[in-house]
A and B are shown apart, each in its own frame.
Chain A
Amino acid sequence: MSPEFIIKRFFYLLVTAIIVSMIVFAVTQLLPANAATMILGEYATEEALLALNAKLGLDQPAWVQYWQWFSGVLQGDFGISLRTGQAVGPVILSAFGNSAILAVFSLVLVSLISIPLGVIAASRRGRPLDLGVSLISYLGVSMPEFVLATLLLAWLASPAIALFPASGYVPFATDPLAALHHITLPVLTLTIVLTAHVSRMVRSEMVDTLESDFVRAARLRGVPKRRILFKHALRNSMLPAITVIALDIGYLIGGVIVVEEVFSFPGVGRQLILAIQNRDLPMLQAGALLMAVTYAVANLLADLAYALLDKRIQFK
């Protein structure tokens, strides 16, 4: 992996971020009703609307608005929320921190569960165990998050069981145990849905690997099956698995939006929904950008990890 490769990828990341901001900005320009309509709401008069539009700078040409926003971002200033009047930066960063906790816990759990599951299914390909794992994972992919989340909420947080709190959030800094307790249900929801998807992907990658020449060669050499499975095949399937998990971060982020809505969890997803509903463009821009950059960075890291691991395997 040459430094040029890393620099090039990093440059691509920047370009992606800029294009994302342009796309989101362009789409928001087309939205019916703007922040001024939403702030004044039912009580707006024509004059008040015009005045507020001017005050918020919403009467300027789109490209001027974009440039103002963009040059602010370059200086680390994400603007002022049109909805609450608070600075966007700190609000969205703290929300991002909360979402990141959900995402990281879910990803770790997903990796721990879905990779062994996928390997087992692949090694018993076409047998009842494979079909069983597939069926369970199909059920996972076939349930929209909001249904699963509501079911978990109604069951595990019901007064009769009361295993977990129904809502809310405790910062890790104040009470780590209570924090874990509060994120269990959202993390569980995301994990179930993602495990289904990732384990299927791992299975199919694993199937390919098991059919590959070098595994056949190993088998012909009389290497024990277990050893082939975990030493040779798994190592090779890890790479695609990493890529799949990185790609699924996009899906995870989408799931986070829904889960945060159901569990009243104060993360980026909640901020984004509120921002769309209130036409709070600075908040919307910042949230969408943050999500896109997270996704792009995750993929960049996966690619770098791929390149690193790949090299080791080649040289071994």
Chain B
Amino acid sequence: MSFPQFNRRQFLLSGAALGVSALGLPVTSAIAATPGGTLRVGLNITPNKLNPMLARVNSEYMLGEMLYSGLTTLATDMSAQPDLAIEWSSNEDATQWRFVLRENAQFSNGDPVTSNDVVASFTKLLDPETSAPGRRNLGPIKNVEADGDFAVIFDTETPFSDLPVGLTYPTAKILPASLIIESFEGFDQTPVGSGPFRLVDFKPDQVVVVEKNPDYFLPEQPLLDRVEIRTFPDASSAAAAMLAGEIDLLNEVQPTDFERVANGQGIDGLVTPSGRFLDIVMDNSKPPFNDKRVREALSLSIDREAMVELVAEGYGTPGNDSPVNGAYRYYKESSLKSFDPDRAKALLAEAGYPDGLELELVASVKPGYRSSMAVVVREMAKASGFDISVKTMDHPTYLDQVWKKGQFYVGYYNMQPTEGTIFNLLFTSDASWNETKWNNEAFDALVAEADRTTDTAKRAELYAQAQQMMSDEVPAIVPCFFDLLGAKASYVEGYTQHPRGASYGFHKVSLSKSAPTR
């Protein structure tokens, strides 16, 4: 087959040459790291199934990453790094991409990982019938085909320079082609992957045990012999277990527990600024929120700095009603919106509610700070004449009856790898979860253009405009971003908490010599 000319400038990265340092780990510490040992990890969400393509929660992403590999992985600076693909490049307008695969990767059943498996995996992933989460977050992929045994070519509908980053989506893992056809359901219980670890025991509600994959493609990795993952339904017992030294690493510490855990003896608290946010979702297509003045009034009723203090216990950053913050590449700084109840009251009166407005704000009970935010919003907005009652409900009922359907509720979203992903996930007219029904054509055009622009400076400008537009039009209120909070025992080395909150890099983690022997 013919392949278009490569643009030298677009030739992004050669992983083999950069070696370990490309994975975000200083070379020296990798050399000094002591191999061996068992890492005990505490999690707050029970994993349900092991099929990585169907993973939906962080615990499942974690297992997917340990047992499987993807083409690319996401570095903490939100850039794509090699995984199974060691290098990639695109044509001039970024509509066609070629990924070169490493030749030393093999599945746990002994078969080599080839382009055939990659094509089968993406075909399955993109098939609407699979209902794979994040199917639409990978990018506008039109076609995937093999180019020999160890290269694949992706064609996209529109120019898309973020494809390598898009492919880091946690569900985009490579499974053996033969088993995808024969028994896709088998992956729920029996993993067959090329990741750094292999499954030993899967008792989802109790403990999941994985051990080192001796045939892993990266030399001398993983460093650990074993990882045990335990789930804690109750946050305070997870904190107690961390403090008592029963676990070595705790993912997701509650803001209310963080200070106490981080001050524990031999414990390092981990704070990572992130684009994770809670937002107040308003249905822009129906009264009263189809009136921009009402949305603006509510926006002005919120003291954002106090919100960070009250809901995130100070571990967060105030938001300006755009879902993009400093953790993203193209964040445009702007001055924080003011807290102005008088102006809010005037706007509300102008919109036809001089005597105030009665509303019901729905919040799922999971995670706990959704209802905290609802209560704080209720109290803050009282001064402007909003009379907001809070209604909490269990998560299944919320998903079934309110989410994407409700008029006024608290949303909760993880950071996404790119600005394009978060905009197209929530705020464009054809967003996967177009919950605000804002349907602003100018905004759609802006995002679409930014997505397909390859020039970085121009792209930054376009995304900045999109952020400004959201801040002005207030399709939703984004009052507060949350830092990711975690904790690790001091003897755990090589672990970097990822701002995206869905990537862990356990193959680089090791236990120092001071770790207790068990």
Chains A, B in direct contact (C-beta < 8 Å): yes
Q: List chain A positions with a Cβ less than 8 A from chain B.
A: 31-33, 37-38, 40-45, 47-48, 51-52, 83-86, 95, 150, 153-154, 157-159, 162, 165-169, 261-264, 266, 270-271, 273-274, 277-279
Q: Is B368 close to A, CB under 8 A? A: no
What distance in Å separates the Cβ of A179 from its nearest Cβ neighbour in chain B? 14
Q: Is B27 close to A, CB under 8 A? A: no
A residues near B472, Cβ cutoff 8 Å = none
Beta-carbon contact of A165 and B246 below 8 Å: yes
Beta-carbon contact of A159 and B243 below 8 Å: yes
What distance in Å separates the Cβ of B430 from its nearest Cβ neighbour in chain A? 14
Q: Is B140 close to A, CB under 8 A? A: no
Beta-carbon contact of B135 and A43 below 8 Å: yes
Closest chain B residue, CB of each to CB of A85: B188
Beta-carbon contact of A48 and B49 below 8 Å: no
Q: Is B323 close to A, CB under 8 A? A: no
Q: Is B334 close to A, CB under 8 A? A: no
Beta-carbon contact of A43 and B133 below 8 Å: yes
Known: A32-B400, A83-B48. 5 other contacts (CB 8 A): A43-B133, A85-B185, A159-B244, A167-B238, A266-B206
B residues near A168, Cβ cutoff 8 Å = 230, 241, 246
Other-chain residue from A37, A162, A264 in contact with B232 (beta carbon distance below 8 A): A264
Bound complex: CA of A270 vs CA of B234, how far in Å?
A: 11
Beta-carbon contact of A277 and B246 below 8 Å: no
Beta-carbon contact of A43 and B233 below 8 Å: no
Closest chain A residue, CB of each to CB of B135: A43
What distance in Å separates the Cβ of B254 from its nearest Cβ neighbour in chain A? 14
What distance in Å separates the Cβ of B34 from its nearest Cβ neighbour in chain A? 25
Closest chain B residue, CB of each to CB of A161: B244
Other-chain residue from A31, A43, A84, A262 in contact with B49 (beta carbon distance below 8 A): A84
Interface bits B390-423 vs A (CB < 8 Å: 1, else 0): 0000111101110100000000000000000000
Q: List 6 A-B contacts (CB under 8 A).
A: A42-B399, A48-B129, A168-B230, A263-B237, A278-B396, A279-B396
Given A43-B135, A166-B244, answer yes or no on A264-B237 (Cβ-Cβ < 8 Å).
Answer: yes
Interface bits B221-240 vs A (CB < 8 Å: 1, else 0): 00000000011111011101
Interface bits B182-199 vs A (CB < 8 Å: 1, else 0): 000100110000000000
What distance in Å separates the Cβ of B315 from its nearest Cβ neighbour in chain A? 22
What distance in Å separates the Cβ of A269 from its nearest Cβ neighbour in chain B? 10
B residues near A279, Cβ cutoff 8 Å = 396
Q: Is B64 close to A, CB under 8 A? A: no
Given A150-B236, A158-B240, answer yes or no on A266-B205 (Cβ-Cβ < 8 Å).
Answer: yes
Beta-carbon contact of A167 and B46 below 8 Å: no
A residues near B394, Cβ cutoff 8 Å = 277
Bound complex: CA of A283 vs CA of B184, how far in Å?
A: 23
Q: Is B389 close to A, CB under 8 A? A: no
A residues near B403, Cβ cutoff 8 Å = 42
Closest chain A residue, CB of each to CB of B265: A159
A residues near B203, Cβ cutoff 8 Å = 266
The prevalent SS among residues of B at the interface is: loop
Q: List chain B positions with a Cβ less than 8 A from chain A.
A: 46, 48-49, 56, 128-129, 131-135, 185, 188-189, 203-206, 230-234, 236-238, 240-241, 243-246, 264-265, 394-397, 399-401, 403, 432-433
B residues near A159, Cβ cutoff 8 Å = 243-245, 264-265
Given A261-B233, A262-B237, answer yes or no on A40-B206 (Cβ-Cβ < 8 Å).
Answer: no
Closest chain B residue, CB of each to CB of A35: B396
A residues near B135, Cβ cutoff 8 Å = 43
What distance in Å separates the Cβ of A158 from its nearest Cβ neighbour in chain B? 7
Bound complex: CA of A157 vs CA of B246, how far in Å?
A: 11
Beta-carbon contact of A157 and B133 below 8 Å: no
A residues near B128, Cβ cutoff 8 Å = 45, 47-48
Given A85-B189, A153-B240, A273-B233, answer yes or no on A43-B56 (Cβ-Cβ < 8 Å).
Answer: yes
B residues near A51, Cβ cutoff 8 Å = 129
Top 6 A-B residue pairs of the complex, sorted by shortest distance between their CB atoms: A33-B400, A166-B240, A48-B131, A43-B133, A33-B396, A266-B206
What distance in Å separates the Cβ of B225 from its nearest Cβ neighbour in chain A? 20
Given A262-B237, A266-B206, answer yes or no on A86-B246 (Cβ-Cβ < 8 Å).
Answer: no
Beta-carbon contact of A278 and B234 below 8 Å: no
B residues near A261, Cβ cutoff 8 Å = 233-234
Bound complex: CA of A261 vs CA of B234, how far in Å?
A: 6
Bound complex: CA of A279 vs CA of B398, how far in Å?
A: 13
Beta-carbon contact of A44 and B131 below 8 Å: yes
Other-chain residue from A32, A166, A270 in contact with B233 (beta carbon distance below 8 A): A270
Beta-carbon contact of B396 and A158 below 8 Å: no
B residues near A85, Cβ cutoff 8 Å = 49, 185, 188-189
Other-chain residue from B46, B230, B237 in contact with A153 (beta carbon distance below 8 A): B237
Closest chain B residue, CB of each to CB of A83: B48
Bound complex: CA of A273 vs CA of B233, how far in Å?
A: 10
What distance in Å separates the Cβ of A40 from its nearest Cβ neighbour in chain B? 5
A residues near B129, Cβ cutoff 8 Å = 47-48, 51
Closest chain A residue, CB of each to CB of B54: A39
What distance in Å separates the Cβ of B234 from its nearest Cβ neighbour in chain A? 5
A residues near B399, Cβ cutoff 8 Å = 33, 37-38, 41-42
Bound complex: CA of A167 vs CA of B231, how far in Å?
A: 10
Beta-carbon contact of A264 and B246 below 8 Å: no
Bound complex: CA of A37 vs CA of B231, how far in Å?
A: 23
Beta-carbon contact of A262 and B234 below 8 Å: yes
Closest chain A residue, CB of each to CB of B366: A277
Beta-carbon contact of B233 and A38 below 8 Å: no
Closest chain A residue, CB of each to CB of B56: A41
Bound complex: CA of A75 vs CA of B128, how far in Å?
A: 37
A residues near B204, Cβ cutoff 8 Å = 84, 86
Bound complex: CA of A154 vs CA of B128, how far in Å?
A: 48
Q: Tell which of A42, A162, A266 has the most Cβ of chain B within 10 Å.
A: A42
What distance in Å separates the Cβ of B442 from its nearest Cβ neighbour in chain A? 27
B residues near A48, Cβ cutoff 8 Å = 128-129, 131
